[in-house]
Structure 1
Amino acid sequence: MEEENLGQPLLKKRYYQNCPGCKVDRAKELGTDVSIRNISYIWMTVLCGTLPIASLFPFVYFMVKDFNVAESEEDISAYAGYVGSSFMLGRSLTSILWGIMSDRYGRKPVIIIGVMTVVVFNTLFGLSTNLWMAISMRFFLGSLNGLLGPVKVLLYASIAYTTEIFIEEKQALGLSSVVAAWGVGLVIGPALGGYLAQPTLKYPHLFPKDSFWDKFPYFLPCFVISVFAFVVAIACIWLPETLHYHNGSKESNDNVEAAEVDSSEIKKDKSIFLNWPLMSSIIVYCVFSLHDIAYQEVFSLWAVSPRRLGGLNFTTNDVGNVMAISGFAMMIYQLALYPSLQKACGPVNLARITGALSIPLLQSYPFMTLLSGSTLYLVLNIASILRYLMFEQHQRGAANGFAMTAMSAFKIIGPAGGGALLAWSQKRLSASFLPGTHVVFLVLNIVEGVGVILMFKPFLGEKKEKPMEQLQ
């Protein structure tokens, strides 16, 4: 019987009339998938999840200052760090749960819930009147939002969704749209937060003093993002579902079980924790994630801090300008230069080089307080652009559920630790050793240095195959 089956397909594809996943697979087989429309769906959902993360950096210092919770101006950065960490805390606690939900109930419901979470809790965050309300809203925004986790969790359901909805030849285009949407969010998010926060101070002819906008000075950027998210939520009504529903048919279950035999046999007796090449990559990814989120938090808080505390005394507009310009430069670099550099150096060597070069660059930041005017803006923008380009290398890591959960856990430490460290440093401006913010950027560089070291053997090693006789 086995000989008679040689050359015959092991599985025969069957399509069920009322199954949404089968409709997508059928369209892919026939080559009738609407790529532009599907790319637009993915692009909008990822952007919707990215904007709330980046938008608060320019104004979170002023928001916490207005809460009047800090005993001194030096303590503001520490409380601002708690606001930044609360989102990642919520995300790390629920990312696996949202992955299970998307596998069980479908990608589309999880995407819609994630988008509506942005609508509700990002709006409430803009209406925060005290520190605990701000922390709570950011926590719920992270924990109830399945948009930013990894295809067990949605940036992951977006990546998973991308691989499921496109034919193989077009998956690269779909995945690049996810990366592009993330990059656009890094540009638009800080710009919105910087330009639209405190509108009564910046645009008094449009937003008069003692009005609603004066009582809630950080609502406008949150409201604009929430309106965009609401539009995306409506558009998601036409989002095709990729999960298969076969009404409990025994035949369909048999097909599914047969299709999964190979993958289950491959994964049998293998633990993710015993896979050293994978685990070493995840560790490096987590260390760099900790560094990068801490840098973003520290940079924005340091830039808006007064000169007497070692800051630059920037406005929200100034911070938004720098972060938006850097994000735009990163997009250009990613599209135009990165492929050539990666081909010439290899992704790991390129990350090692950029990681090492970022250390002296970052340690130069405290000396920028000696500059002023256009010279300061020019030097700071150049440094920030270079730092963002190096930051981009760190983000090209493993995209699996465990890696993203671990990364989120590390990112809890970044904003809170960075904010507390900055607050402490501003109380020791007259110290004889590493005064003021010098110690902050030194600690960031130590973390960066650890990440660079971990990228060399024996930490980041190749997996060695066992001889065949040992496997038998």
Structure 2
Amino acid sequence: MADPSTDAAHSERTPLLAGERDASPPAIATGTHSSSSTTLADQEADIDPPSPSTEDEDRPLPLWQMFLLCFARLVEPVAFFSIFPFVSQMIHESGSVPDTDVGFWSGWIESSFSLTQTVFMLFWGRASDKYGRKPVLIASLSGVAIASVLFGISKSVWQMIILRSLAGVFAGTIVTVRTMITENSTPKTQARAFSFFAFAGNLGIFMGPLIGGALSKPAEQWPMVFGWSTFLKQYPYLLPCIVSGGLAAVAAVINLIWLKETRSLQKHHHAIVIQPPSVREVLSAPGVIPVLCVFEYALLLGVAFTAVCPVFFWTPIELGGYGWEAPQISLYLAAAGISQAIWLLFVFPPLVNRIGTGTLLRICGWCWPIGFVLLPAMNLLLRHQQWTAFWVIMPFIVIPSAGVSMAFTGVQLALNDISPNPLAAGTLNGIALSLQSAVRAVAPAMYTTLYAWGVKEGILWGQLGFVILTITSLGFIVLLRWLPEKAEGRPKKKVDVEETQGGEEH
């Protein structure tokens, strides 16, 4: 893209999380026991990073291993999003919380998952390096299964927060899965491998709300099937948690039986040892800080909107919301999830090739404030009982708005392009993912609290939260002015490609 020599690596074929492939002896190994301090510049000057052999590049993608890893990838978004359709109602009923305070506690429950995920993500990464990828993945999946089920029997807000935090402790699956997909693929098969990865994530976003909405209060929704169960009447939100935890348990079992370890634990004593660049070296590289800011800002907008949406949809019409029940909320979230998958799989690759990463991000940047204005404006139709107009217009807002999800993959491409050195890719992505979890820990509570305050006090007809979201989204447009040229991902002109190929032939 920005650098002709790295176009092949930094196109839509670039994996969502770049990783380092284990070096084969006696080539190069990374470690911390080098006798001298090696800088990033020294590494580039002294020795080139190992490149895979032609035989390794031609290795076919192990589809069964991809299926196992993608099934494990499915677990985290299902566990995270499955409570969204019913969490507001669960807080109100089980926690005896007034309507006007639901948004405040909803944000804290959602944030607790990401807060503990932030703290423990680096722990899981280090553990996988020391003990292997497979045992860490199995442990994570097992923990998510148990914590998800326990959440369904919560009877107070503080129990919900504690158990949601416990689920976040074990939510290190995404880091391990990303790494194992990288180690199972080659430069030629990375595109296919990470398209599976992206689809699995969006499928989880689709399934999570669907499970939560369809199975909450089963004795009332499905009286012919569950009406006899006194237990499910006592714990009306347990069934979707059992299904969510059951998926994690199934993933743990099938991966325990069939998944192959990808991390070689044998040390190569005759390898040339190179220290990976330090965090300070990576952060001081040109353009890294601005791209990290763009990366996290895009995530902030997505996380804040995702947190506010369920509360906004559940809020009564007279207070500024839509007055939806859990099934309606799950239908919207599921439709948004499948729309995002379609945009990402079929529109994003050709579009980013045609217009470049930077232009794509700017288009998405302008779509955000438009969507943040249109959604609350639809409350006016409901206030005037214009039901037909509401449901006719709504799909034309939901489907295009889902297209902004392309920004999340776009900022990952920008991050890949700005990496100062192949040996720095793992460290750079590790920093970005840690900050990402921190944003997910803070943003939901902050924005849902502001939304709940606006509803409680009737500020701006209950739409204070969306006004702040709109203002926040305009900041993303401003921030993109500092996107480095190297991260713009401008498409190569046909003439440049022919000249490059001609030079290689001569």
TM-score by length of 1: 0.83
1:119-268 aligned at under 5 Å gives the runs 119-148=145-174, 154=175, 157-208=176-227, 211-237=230-256, 238-246=258-266, 252-255=268-271, 258=272, 260-261=273-274, 264=276, 267=277
Taking the aligned partners of 2:369 and 2:466, their CA distance within structure 1 comes to: 9
1:455 partner SS: helix
Aligned partner letter, 1:140 = L
| 2:95–2:155 CA contact under 8 A, matched in 1 | no
Taking the aligned partners of 1:339 and 1:243, their CA distance within structure 2 comes to: 30
Change (3 A) 1:244 1:194: same
**Pairing 1:450–2:475 present:** yes
Q: 1:405: how far off?
A: 0.6
Partner residue of 1:468?
Answer: none
Taking the aligned partners of 1:376 and 1:42, their CA distance within structure 2 comes to: 40
| 2:61–2:184 CA contact under 8 A, matched in 1 | no
Taking the aligned partners of 1:287 and 1:188, their CA distance within structure 2 comes to: 26
**Pairing 1:312–2:341 present:** no
Change (3 A) 1:209 1:363: farther
| 2:319–2:462 CA contact under 8 A, matched in 1 | yes
Taking the aligned partners of 2:360 and 2:295, their CA distance within structure 1 comes to: 15
Q: 1:420: how far off?
A: 0.7
**Pairing 1:406–2:439 present:** no
| 1:285–1:395 CA contact under 8 A, matched in 2 | no
Change (3 A) 1:218 1:276: farther
Change (3 A) 1:461 1:167: closer
**Pairing 1:52–2:79 present:** yes
Q: 1:143: how far off?
A: 1.6
| 2:127–2:136 CA contact under 8 A, matched in 1 | yes
Aligned partner letter, 1:35 = P
**Pairing 1:296–2:306 present:** yes
Q: 1:120: how far off?
A: 0.4
Taking the aligned partners of 1:436 and 1:227, their CA distance within structure 2 comes to: 39
Q: What is the aligned-residue identity percentage?
A: 25
| 1:325–1:381 CA contact under 8 A, matched in 2 | no
| 2:106–2:448 CA contact under 8 A, matched in 1 | yes
Q: 2:123 aligns with which of 80, 97, 102?
A: 97
**Pairing 1:427–2:456 present:** yes
Partner residue of 2:465?
Answer: 440
Q: 1:347 aligns with which of 348, 357, 363?
A: 357
Change (3 A) 1:336 1:443: same
**Pairing 1:39–2:63 present:** no
- Report 1 or 2 for greater relative contact order, CA contacts < 8 Å, sequence distance ≥ 6: 2
Q: 1:136: how far off?
A: 0.9
Gaps of 5+ in 1: 1-9, 15-24, 149-153, 464-472
Aligned partner letter, 1:240 = K
Taking the aligned partners of 2:151 and 2:395, their CA distance within structure 1 comes to: 29
Taking the aligned partners of 1:88 and 1:402, their CA distance within structure 2 comes to: 15
Partner residue of 1:377?
Answer: 391
Taking the aligned partners of 2:220 and 2:263, their CA distance within structure 1 comes to: 49
**Pairing 1:391–2:432 present:** no
Question: Aligned residue pairs: how many?
Answer: 420
Taking the aligned partners of 2:388 and 2:207, their CA distance within structure 1 comes to: 23
Q: 1:185: how far off?
A: 0.8
Q: What are the Cα deviations for residues 367-411 of structure 1, in whole angstroms up to 9, with x where unaligned? A: 211224243233333322222211331344247110011111111
Taking the aligned partners of 2:69 and 2:138, their CA distance within structure 1 comes to: 12
Alpha carbon RMSD of aligned pairs, Å?
2.4
1:243 partner SS: coil
Aligned partner letter, 2:270 = D
| 1:428–1:436 CA contact under 8 A, matched in 2 | yes
Partner residue of 1:329?
Answer: 339
Q: 1:273 aligns with which of 271, 279, 283?
A: 283
**Pairing 1:88–2:88 present:** no
Taking the aligned partners of 1:54 and 1:178, their CA distance within structure 2 comes to: 18
| 1:284–1:455 CA contact under 8 A, matched in 2 | yes
Taking the aligned partners of 1:444 and 1:213, their CA distance within structure 2 comes to: 38
Change (3 A) 1:90 1:395: farther
Taking the aligned partners of 1:330 and 1:361, their CA distance within structure 2 comes to: 15
Change (3 A) 1:30 1:452: closer
Change (3 A) 1:364 1:31: closer
Q: 1:192: how far off?
A: 1.0
Taking the aligned partners of 2:57 and 2:293, their CA distance within structure 1 comes to: 42
Gaps of 5+ in 2: 1-23, 29-51, 416-427, 488-506
Taking the aligned partners of 1:368 and 1:30, their CA distance within structure 2 comes to: 52
Change (3 A) 1:189 1:204: same
TM-score by length of 2: 0.78
Q: 2:444 aligns with which of 415, 428, 448?
A: 415
2:480 partner SS: coil
Q: What are the Cα deviations for residues 395-442 of structure 1, in whole angstroms up to 9, with x where unaligned? A: 44247110011111111122101221111011232x5xx3311x2111
Q: What are the Cα deviations for residues 323-370 of structure 1, in whole angstroms up to 9, with x where unaligned? A: 111211221222222222212211121111121122122112222112
